[in-house]
A and B are shown apart, each in its own frame.
Chain A
């Protein structure tokens, strides 16, 4: 069964450093998403991406964040200058259409020290 893959599974970084989280969505899906979940808290939406542009973003997704689809398969989330409060599990998700279920990757646990 096709799945969303995320790398790395764990990322440890120093405050102020840049990180790039990588995702390969399911191949025939058109809508891509990043969510995050701080330990013990709810799953929070960051950004959605369709047709090579951001279709929706949350207040969390400020100028420190960016997304890119550099080729036909990868979808990346960049955090330019990490803060302690960016420590969370980051989930990539994809869906074939905007009204259908989201399929989640296994996540990247980001720890900012």
Chain B
């Protein structure tokens, strides 16, 4: 069974702090990894994707991938109240057409 696991939270961080989100996946051969943000009642919105081991930075967001450990993370630096949302980890498993989503981690940024 191919699974994407996330710590469900909720994760509460003060404004300006770093929020750290984790995700593990079951298929060692997976090649494509995505982080989506979902505000309540809205659709998922892509914020980062990563294909290679290491770090990838985009503004205040950094995605980290470790394929050997089957682990992908998302760091949100200088967290803002507008970052309060549920963050979804998604993985494209080997030979799948679809993205498989984790249950999401809810982040609350306290002003």
Interface, chain A (partner B; CB < 8 A)? 31, 33, 35, 41-45, 48, 50, 55-56, 89, 91, 98-107
Contact = CB atoms under 8 A, between A and B. Distances in A.
Contacts of A45: 98-101
A4 B98 CA distance: 17
A105 to B, nearest CB: 6
A52 to B, nearest CB: 14
Q: Which of A41, A42, A45, A103 has most B Cβ within 10 Å?
A: A42
B50 to A, nearest CB: 11
Given A43-B88, A101-B34, A56 B43 contact: no
B104 A42 contact: yes
- Main secondary structure, interface of A, reads strand
A107 B98 CA distance: 18
A56 B96 CA distance: 8
Interface of B: 31-32, 34, 38, 41-46, 49, 88, 90, 92, 96-104
Contacts of A100: 32
A101 B43 contact: no
Contacts of B98: 33, 45, 48, 56
B97 A56 contact: yes
Contacts of A107: 42-43
A42 B101 contact: yes
B103 A42 contact: yes
Contacts of B97: 31, 48, 50, 55-56, 98
A103 B44 CA distance: 8
A99 B32 contact: yes
Given A42-B103, A48-B98, A55-B97, A105 B92 contact: no
Contact of A99 (B31, B88, B104): B31
Nearest to A92: B43
Contacts of B96: 56
Contact of A104 (B32, B41, B45): B45
A104 to B, nearest CB: 4
